Amino acid sequence: MELLTTNNVWMMLCAALVFFMHLGFSFLEIGLTRQKNTINILFKNFFIITMGLIAYCLIGFNLMYPGDFNIIGNGILGFAGAGLDSATAADLGYNNGYTYWTDFLFQGMFAATAGTIISGAVAERIKINSFMLIVFIYITIVYPIVGSWQWGSGFLSTLTEKVGFYDFAGSTLVHSVGGWAALIIISLLGARKDKFDSSGNPVAIPGSNIPLSAAGVLILWLGWFGFNGGSVLSADPANTSLVLVTTCLAAAAGGIGASLLSTLLYKNLDITMFMNGILGGLVGITAGADQMGPTEAIIIGSIGGVIVVLGVAFLDKCKLDDPVGAIPVHLFAGIWGTLAVGIFGASAGFSQFMVQLASVGIVGLFCVICTLIITLIVKSVIGLRVSEQEEEQGLDLAEHGTKAYFSS
């Protein structure tokens, strides 16, 4: 019982830290976008966590872990069986010694994160109703189906006879899932007005509050203690300590790597690249945080930071507008982190690398197809983008009828 209590308390604390990350995402997005869209971003982030938890309760967890969870009724919402008896599970614990209520809460916070990734990429020009509908469907159905392929003991976990796909805390299963959706949606949505000049060259649109974004990044770094630390699925001292060390070293290396490269390329010390480099390092280490040593963590993190800088430049060349750098951070660095398991992980080698690569491709193809279908249907029914006049006015007034800040 003492072990159950210790594990359960740790997992609940980690769930709280992952919940706290939503404040970090909100701050980051608000600070890197314009003041006239602040309430719109806050509304989206509140919607994601509230809707995400309820949808995951009613549908998502059952899809992701078929037969293992049944929070409402006796089998009514269990898609592949009657599920566990709630009283027994809550009393005795399961899944390495914590209750299934705690498991639901922890996993529910992960589900909402995928939607938040989309929010930042589409900021400042998407219709709020369209966004809510797309994200609702994506979090409720697409995310848990992909998660079931690995964490629900699906086919990715046994992709070959010798090795299965490995993604410790979700470089692919969380971050890339959100990143693929963001990439497709911004391709269909188009860039913000005046983001590219008449010659197609990118034009910087300054954020409204860089100190707020900096606070958001530090909150996210703190939240990653729960995101990765909780993915140990116990309070085991050795494993948890290792994961927290590799997570922090990768974050630090990501920031340094991004800062050095951006300084070399652009001849200035860009704080936004530094901050997103930290996030790129965090996303990169997430797939294999429990399998790496300090040296590997620093290498993975620094390359993650470099990928973020190059990813931002790549999107600009493709004339794709991602106001907060969500796609380079979560998709590009997520792919790198997943592949890094095949290079530096416990089962590193050609077979593991190819399994990691194949899994990235399978997940990517599924997410792209689903996002295209969902987004094109929503676009045809209610539209996707606000009018040019509403974009110029700001989504706070156009969509919510008020402003975030008023002069005294």
Structure-token pair, residue 242 = 């290792």
pTM: 0.93
Closest of 323, 309, 311 to residue 194, by C-alpha: 323
Task: Check whether 88 has a pLDDT greater than 70.
Answer: no
Residue pair 171/283 in contact by the 8 Å Cβ criterion: yes
pLDDT at 104: 87
Which CB contacts under 8 angstroms, 24+ apart, belong to 343-347? 344/288, 344/291, 344/292, 344/296, 344/299, 344/300, 345/166, 345/288, 345/291, 345/292, 346/291, 347/163, 347/166
- Burial status of residue 294 (CB atoms within 10 A of its CB: 0-12, 13-18, 19 or more): middle
Q: Tell me the one-letter amino acid at 170.
A: G
How many residues are given for the chain? 408
User: 294 by DSSP, 3-state: which?
Assistant: helix
Q: pLDDT tens digit string along 212-271?
A: 999 999 999 999 999 999 999 999 999 999 999 999 999 999 999 999 999 999 999 999
Res. 408 pLDDT band, cuts 50 70 90: low
Angle at 139 between CA 321 and CA 27, to 5 degrees: 50
Task: Report the alpha-carbon distance of residue 337 to residue 323 in Å, rounded.
Answer: 23
Sign of CA dihedral 290, 347, 308, 299: positive
pLDDT at 62: 81
Closest of 190, 55, 31 to residue 126, by C-alpha: 190
Task: Check whether 115 has a pLDDT greater than 50.
Answer: yes
Task: Check whether 200 has a pLDDT greater than 60.
Answer: yes
Task: Report the alpha-carbon distance of residue 322 to residue 225 in Å, rounded.
Answer: 26
Q: Set out the domains of the chain in order of their start, with CATH numbers.
A: 2-400 (1.10.3430.10)
Buried b (16+ CB within 10 A) or exposed e, 53-83: bebbbebbbbbbbbebbbbeeeeebbbeeeb
Q: pLDDT tens digit string along 334-392?
A: 999 999 999 999 999 999 999 999 999 999 999 999 999 999 999 999 999 999 999 99
Task: Report the alpha-carbon distance of residue 148 to residue 156 in Å, rounded.
Answer: 9
